[in-house]
Structure 1
Amino acid sequence: MIGNLDLYRIFNVVSKNNSFSQAAQELYMTQSAVSQAIMKLERELDQQLFYRTSKGVVLTNEGKLLYEHIHSAIGIIQVGEEKLSALKTLETGHLRIGVGDTISRYYLLPYLEEFHDKYPAIKLTILNGTTTEIVRFIRSGQVDVGVCNLPIEDEHIHVIPTFKVHDTFVGGDAFYDLSQRTLSIEELMEQPLIFLENKSNARRYVENYFTQKGYPLSPDFELGSSDLVLDFARINLGIACVIREFSQHYLEKKDVFEIHLEETIPSRTIGVCYLKNVSLSPAVKTFVDSIEVKKR
């Protein structure tokens, strides 16, 4: 193969125009430089590619054979360059996100809507899972970025905290009187409790807090979604552990009432995470940046 692809590019333009002079104008070169390039190519291939005539140049049979392949190859290269350019300008691309149901519904949706409005050509793929599953998705390459409950302890994952949340407790009408005062942890533990399943980071965070205080958890109900947790509380099946920021609709409608503890559970964060030492695609970087900008 010829090392200098510029020779093929010049050959392609000369072949299209059947003229050194017209090719020189199109390539912004001198006619002499174009002629020398073609002669060099002919020497390299040990083939005559053009017949020189008074009206210009005409491809030889060997030249016609080469032109069919070179024209096609250059076309493929140009398509590749155009696709790279489109990726850079977000005219095409793919964004794969790992996220849990609750964070997706109450936190991520506005970012997805804004991103899709700005870059409708970017394909979006959403893969649902717990924080542990999302980390596995990232490490296996199934998703580009995760949005999940922190903390994450993984040396291969880069984490950007983006949104602070507060774990709290709520109850329905039957527990309204408790909402009018503060409860000790001991009093809370005497109530029927509703929690997420213990495979979730949010559940483990609260459970670790109570365990450190000497109160191991034994919930009456362990459910798979935050919406179910809130609905169980609404119909007075117990006091539910929820994220205050994601329960505002229920609280504002007075479907449930917040129950305050004497000792407030420390806040925690939701964050964006992705593999360290891996270059982000333009689509992924733009999406991550959009969340980082909003957190400031």
Structure 2
Amino acid sequence: MSLVKYEVFSKVAELGSFTKTADFLGLTQSAVSHAIANLEKEFGFSLVQRSRSGITLTNEGHALLLNIRKVLHYDEQLHQEAAKITGLTKGTVRVGTFTSVSSKWLPEIINIMEIEFPNIRIELIEGDYFEIEKGILNGKIDCGFINVDHSNHFDIITLKKDRLLCIVSKQNALSQQKTIQLTQLVDVPFIMPTYGGYHEVKFLFENSQLQPNIRFGLMAEDSIKSMVAHDLGVSILPEMLLETLPSGCKAIPLAQDSYRVLGLATRFNLSPATKQFVEVTKRWIKEQ
């Protein structure tokens, strides 16, 4: 059976659209539809459901997806190993990432990869910690940046301790303090970051058995900083996201040192291209 059909099915499952899959793979929409139809004929049951809202997998499609992605992964690994034997490292590395890593680390890491390994293609897939971990588990992602403290499912390389800081408006009385106690944030309006799954700000309050007075929940860090600058509440964000702040905003350390520990999670069986990405990332972090 042609692996192209597997690749088409995997990408349809990811994008939920024949049209988007065709654009991504450089195929016609008819070719995508034909590939799925052929797979369904060979397996003897439906793999996808079509509706106005897009394409979703049937229960049978979900049951096969993980194994199909495993086949694609090992096929990619086989070709990369063959390329390695001939002295040429090539292939695709799918990297799970989130805002602070995408903006602060990856541009330079990718530049190094392009210079040292021009035949390796880097594909970035953005999400929160939960989505990245899920992507590694289901084979959608080869490696991903996550919070080390809340994951034990993968090989993980610890990269950086990123301090958590409280951000307040310069109009707020708390802005005069050198440090801020977490208990001081319970009775003031708090803007809670709302990216999905586990995240360190929620855990910080839960671990201290404190309940913040949440005024807003926002996903975008720039929106949080803007709200704080206008004195609509206080918040806590990782230091990597606070190199630039609105003029009316101030970052203050917490009295109880708190961090998120960032790491690179990988599958247990790495392809040669992924190994190179991991080594370049470790080297770049060490040099900073």
Shorter-chain TM-score: which interval?
0.5 to 0.7
Residue 99 of structure 1 contacts residue 126 of structure 1 at CA under 8 Å; is this kept in 2? yes
TM-score (norm 2): 0.64
1:283 to 270, 273, 284: 273
Aligned counterpart, 1:259: 252
Larger radius of gyration: 1
Deviation at 1:179, TM superposition (A): 2.1
Matches within 5 A, 1:1-296: 84-85=82-83, 89-90=87-88, 92-155=90-153, 157-175=154-172, 177-181=173-177, 182-197=179-194, 199-202=196-199, 205-250=200-245, 254-265=247-258, 267-276=259-268, 278=269, 280-296=270-286
Cα offsets for 1:250-286 (capped at 9, x unmatched) = 2xx7452113433332x2311101122x1x2222111
How has the CA–CA distance of structure 1 residues 190 and 135 changed in structure 2, closer, same or farther, with 3 Å as cutoff?
Answer: same
2:171 alignment partner AA: A
Residue 207 of structure 1 contacts residue 217 of structure 1 at CA under 8 Å; is this kept in 2? no
Deviation at 1:118, TM superposition (A): 2.9
2:100 alignment partner AA: T
Residue 188 of structure 2 contacts residue 213 of structure 2 at CA under 8 Å; is this kept in 1? no
How has the CA–CA distance of structure 1 residues 83 and 216 changed in structure 2, closer, same or farther, with 3 Å as cutoff?
Answer: closer
Identity, % of aligned pairs? 21
> Distance in 2 between the 1:229 and 1:187 partners?
19
How has the CA–CA distance of structure 1 residues 255 and 207 changed in structure 2, closer, same or farther, with 3 Å as cutoff?
Answer: same
> Distance in 1 between the 2:210 and 2:79 partners?
62
> Distance in 2 between the 1:87 and 1:174 partners?
63
Residue 115 of structure 1 contacts residue 287 of structure 1 at CA under 8 Å; is this kept in 2? yes
TM-score (norm 1): 0.62
SS in 1 for 2:156: strand
Structure 2 gaps, min length 5 = 1-77
> Distance in 2 between the 1:120 and 1:92 partners?
8
